[in-house]
Structure 1
Amino acid sequence: MNFRTDINGLRAVAVIAVVIFHFNKDWLPGGFAGVDVFFVISGFLMTSIIIKGLKTDNLSLVNFYFARANRIIPSLFILCIACLIFGYFFLIPFDYQTLSQHVKSSSGFFSNSTYMSEAGYFDSASHDKWLLHTWSLSVEWQFYIIYPLILLTANRLFSLSAIPKTIISLAVLSFILCVLASVYIPESSFYSLTTRAWEMLLGGVVFFYPIMIKHNKRIILNIAGVTLIAISYLVLNGSDVWPGTLTIFPVLGACLIILANNKHSFISNNFLVQKIGTYSYSIYLWHWPLYVALNYFQYEGIFYSTIGIILSFILGMIFYYLIEKKLVFNYKNLTRSQYFFHPTVLFTFIAFTAASTIQHYQGLPERFSPELQLSFSQIASSPLRDKCHSKKKDYIPPKQACTYFGENIKWAVLGDSHTIEIAYALAKAVEENNEGIKHYSFSGCVPSYKQDKHFSRCSTWTNDAVADITHTKSIENVVINYRYSRALFGDIDQFYPALGDEKDEASRSMMIQSLKMMIDDLALSKKNVYVFLPIPELQERIPKLLSNQYTYNLNHFNNIDGTSYDYYLRRNAYILNFFKNEQLAENVKIIDSSKLFCNENTCYAMLDGVPLYFDDDHPSIKGAERLIRSILEDNDQQSIILPSN
């Protein structure tokens, strides 16, 4: 296939959008759709290469794979090594260990699976992931591995003429899965090859059905494609379900531009656009770590966003000429042993091994003083978090809830993911009294007792958990903890220090009613009920706050501010007023978390050299130990103590 300037221009249109979106979402709210444009281009080009090989009976899978590796791996290797070198000097062990895991998954092309198991693409935590953008490279690489095998099999079993139907069928199936998964498992849908494949497959469909039309009609088709992509960039935003039915807009737009094959359009003939298209891969690789670096060093605002965008294109140009253009290696007519020692294989091995070593040694904490090493080691979550916490994908029925450290089960811990460390710390504490606990937690499940119609599985789980607790006679004490204000008003990420309001009053009233009924029913069953008031939420993850202290040589790690006490009161006013005004049974005791984590001015992330959290809202084991002491040392002074307004 001859070099197509229209496709090269389309690359520029895609990468410009992605870069602008990442540096400032307000400037191009749907710029993330540029990745979908890239997917269509990849599908079209890979199909043309594979079909050409099949037609000439000259398709070598090994050569195909190494050609792709030649294009992708050298630049990716340099980026990964650069990140590891940077991390050695600037990242605390926790973050360096995380970066190493991400280097492993990026160099091994399974980073989409890694990020699928972590937080979402559009959340605040994503801004600290140096290689988050490599998820799309992993999706494409997985497509490169599987796609030629499918087409080769279809050709051998049927004929070359069966391939278009095969591609169309797979595209339809993938699109259906995409639409369904985006509703029910959105995190998995975003990163999965299964739900993204249709975009690349439609690029393949375009290859098989070119159209022969006059130049003026090509212009119309081209304009239609550009319009669809422009609508995607300008109208869509991160709150839209993605990928899903709306993804048709940029995908169809890219397909129309490729179909039009207009060699005389603006993107085909403009010198600057063509250069950006040529540099697009290197621009894409370096722009995101640059964005994370600016965020890491707290260079924020319009000025730095503009600088970041400009630097992204400059770095892309530099690394195109230094790396991408120069590091091209022969891969044809090699022996089997030579393939194993091909530079692209060695690059992958070196990056993977270096990252594995850093991860094995827990982020090389020896770089820091013994005092700091101790603090870093205490940023710990429960070792039973994955095994014993119920999630949508790993559902644990309440009857099968974990019991900890003994058969004499006298305690139950109930709530969302913010109870997990409390359960573990409590179990450790009461173990010496030969007592055990039963741990009931469901991720993201708000208090939804007796509200089946509105909360479905969450309410069913809550009903079953309360029933199991009340019917278990050995359980004498119940500890309840939720991230109430997130359920009542939404997350703080987009609004801090302002207050968000993403929920309606009806759902708030319903949740409060459910919480009240749940507490009352547990109290009626003659259990001692301990309810924690909201645990303060931080404005940043604790590792990030520690990193800031370290980066700016602020060596006073003893106490680190998390947020203001005033913000805590404003954020949680709704739920605090409920507990302040509600008449509860005598065997219900309210524990004021803020008295344990805050003073009259500040809520701490680290107190007396001990990190109270392991992220930005979940207590660490040490933080949980501080909380449960207020229960185990229970006296009248700790009953129903509320913050003063």
Structure 2
Amino acid sequence: MTAKPAAGTLYGIQYLRAFAALAVVVFHAAERTGHAFAVGAAGVDVFFVISGFIMWVIVERRPISPGRFLLDRFRRIVPVYWLATGVMVAGALAGLFPNLVLTAGHVIASLAFVPARSPSSGEIWPVLVQGWTLNYEMFFYLVFAACLALPQRLRLLSMAGLFGLLVVLGLLIESDAPLFLTYTRPIILEFVAGMLIARLWLDGRVPARPLSFALIGLGLAGFAAIGMLRLPFDEWTCGPLACALVYGTVALERQGDIPRLALPVMLGDASYSIYLWHTFAISVTAKAGTLIGMPPAIAFVLSACAGLALGLAAYRLIERPLLRAGKEGWFIRRSVRAAG
């Protein structure tokens, strides 16, 4: 077993976060302008594998209590999401989203990260539709935090056993219950896969450089084939491709082959805000394009650019200040307790 890598920014992971966010932006821009880029939705699979990887690395590098872990995740995820959901609710009340049906129960479930059927469509979606992935993230965080109370050697095995059992139950039992349908999907195994990759990476068990490039090529080629050939896909196909992409990238990272590139790093930093906010700009731009008779190809490009621009602006003006305020507030409270 080799020494653990030194703490610091993992540029490869940042680039993958940027890649996943851009894929989702292009997917929604294409969807709203009459184009086809369904495979862009697989950016979510990449996000889930990355999430499992990052959470495992975080707690291995810096042991943390379950409560502290959840507090950190709450501060990172929740305020911005609640604000974006609030904008959706305010817009619906103002008549800006005529197809959005609001009920108190659905809004509360959305804010609480509880899967519930949307009164607008019947789908298991929150008010801010792309927030469906956060229901999985928060579930993963809760289970992960509980496993932090276990001995380190049992954590990965326990997570894999529980999530594997849930998937088996989903395959064996028919149910229309939103909670059951959500948390028995095979997509939850992507978090476990990310944790396994992190464990291998921390132990130095990574492929050599040629195989690392081959894994990255396999992942990209697989996604490209799905997109160009319009092949059907789900987590059973996209999950392994996402794992190959992440494993190959972090292997190169460990070997010192990932340079720092300013633009991809910035996009990776802003990926959460891009993911949450891009649909607002895409919807407005696509609607405007339709009203003025803009060619669909131009509307598509402008919609994607507008979504990206809004996400970057939200990161600068909303997410970063909120994170800074949360950290400073925690430091002040800690200092006061220490002084007392």
Within 5 Å, which residues of 2 pair with 1:45-64?
45-54=54-63, 59-64=64-69
Paired residue for 1:161, among 153, 174, 188? 153
Q: Distance in 2 between matches of 1:5 and 1:147?
A: 24
Larger helix proportion, structure 1 or 2? 2
Structure 2 equivalent of residue 133 of structure 1: 130
1:185 Cα deviation after fit: 6.8
Relative to structure 1, is the Cα distance of residues 235 and 185 closer, same or farther in structure 2, using a 3 angstrom cutoff? Answer: farther
Structure 2 equivalent of residue 208 of structure 1: 199
Q: Distance in 1 between matches of 2:287 and 2:109?
A: 22
Structure 1 equivalent of residue 117 of structure 2: 114
For residues 37-68 of structure 1, the C-alpha deviation after alignment (integer angstroms, 9 at most, x for no partner) is: 101111111122334454xxxx2222211211
Q: Distance in 2 between matches of 1:190 and 1:117?
A: 21
Q: Distance in 2 between matches of 1:286 and 1:271?
A: 22
Paired residue for 1:224, among 211, 215, 220? 215
* SS at structure 2 position matched to 1:65: helix
* SS at structure 2 position matched to 1:244: helix
Q: Distance in 2 between matches of 1:332 and 1:102?
A: 35
Structure 2 equivalent of residue 24 of structure 1: 30
Give the AA of the match of 2:113: F
Structure 2 equivalent of residue 44 of structure 1: 53
1:23 Cα deviation after fit: 1.4
Contact 1:44 1:205 in 2 (8 A): yes
Contact 1:23 1:291 in 2 (8 A): yes
1:27 Cα deviation after fit: 5.3
Structure 1 equivalent of residue 239 of structure 2: 247
Structure 1 equivalent of residue 273 of structure 2: 282
Structure 2 equivalent of residue 15 of structure 1: 21
1:166 Cα deviation after fit: 2.8
Q: Distance in 2 between matches of 1:285 and 1:33?
A: 16
Paired residue for 1:143, among 140, 146, 155? 140
5+ residue gaps, structure 1, are 339-645
Contact 2:12 2:253 in 1 (8 A): yes
1:12 Cα deviation after fit: 0.7
Contact 1:6 1:261 in 2 (8 A): yes
Q: Distance in 2 between matches of 1:92 and 1:21?
A: 20
Structure 2 equivalent of residue 34 of structure 1: 43
Within 5 Å, which residues of 2 pair with 1:428-467?
none
Structure 2 equivalent of residue 331 of structure 1: 330
Q: Larger radius of gyration, structure 1 or 2?
A: 1
Contact 1:37 1:254 in 2 (8 A): yes
* SS at structure 2 position matched to 1:192: helix
Relative to structure 1, is the Cα distance of residues 208 and 64 closer, same or farther in structure 2, using a 3 angstrom cutoff? Answer: same
Relative to structure 1, is the Cα distance of residues 18 and 37 closer, same or farther in structure 2, using a 3 angstrom cutoff? Answer: same
1:170 Cα deviation after fit: 3.9
For residues 262-290 of structure 1, the C-alpha deviation after alignment (integer angstroms, 9 at most, x for no partner) is: 5434xx53322221111111110111233
Contact 2:215 2:244 in 1 (8 A): no
Return the TM-score normalized by structure 2.
Answer: 0.77
Give the AA of the match of 1:71: R
Contact 1:115 1:132 in 2 (8 A): no
Contact 2:53 2:195 in 1 (8 A): yes
Structure 2 equivalent of residue 198 of structure 1: 189
Tell which has more relative contact order, 1 or 2 (C-alpha 8 A, sep 6+): 2
Q: Distance in 1 between matches of 2:165 and 2:75?
A: 31
Identity of aligned residues (%): 24
Q: Distance in 2 between matches of 1:296 and 1:88?
A: 19
Contact 1:287 1:312 in 2 (8 A): yes
* SS at structure 1 position matched to 2:235: coil
Relative to structure 1, is the Cα distance of residues 162 and 88 closer, same or farther in structure 2, using a 3 angstrom cutoff? Answer: closer
Tell me the matched-pair count.
314
Residue 264 in 1 paired to residue 269 in 2?
A: no
Within 5 Å, which residues of 2 pair with 1:566-645?
none
Structure 2 equivalent of residue 588 of structure 1: none
Which is further off, 24-33 or 201-210?
A: 24-33
Larger strand proportion, structure 1 or 2? 1
Relative to structure 1, is the Cα distance of residues 9 and 201 closer, same or farther in structure 2, using a 3 angstrom cutoff? Answer: same
* SS at structure 1 position matched to 2:330: coil
* SS at structure 2 position matched to 1:136: helix
For residues 353-388 of structure 1, the C-alpha deviation after alignment (integer angstroms, 9 at most, x for no partner) is: xxxxxxxxxxxxxxxxxxxxxxxxxxxxxxxxxxxx
Q: Distance in 1 between matches of 2:139 and 2:88?
A: 23
Q: Distance in 2 between matches of 1:189 and 1:32?
A: 22
Within 5 Å, which residues of 2 pair with 1:389-400?
none
* SS at structure 1 position matched to 2:322: coil
Contact 2:226 2:232 in 1 (8 A): no
Structure 2 equivalent of residue 442 of structure 1: none
For residues 365-416 of structure 1, the C-alpha deviation after alignment (integer angstroms, 9 at most, x for no partner) is: xxxxxxxxxxxxxxxxxxxxxxxxxxxxxxxxxxxxxxxxxxxxxxxxxxxx
1:257 Cα deviation after fit: 2.3
Residue 303 in 1 paired to residue 298 in 2?
A: yes
1:2 Cα deviation after fit: 1.7
Relative to structure 1, is the Cα distance of residues 202 and 177 closer, same or farther in structure 2, using a 3 angstrom cutoff? Answer: farther
Relative to structure 1, is the Cα distance of residues 45 and 209 closer, same or farther in structure 2, using a 3 angstrom cutoff? Answer: same
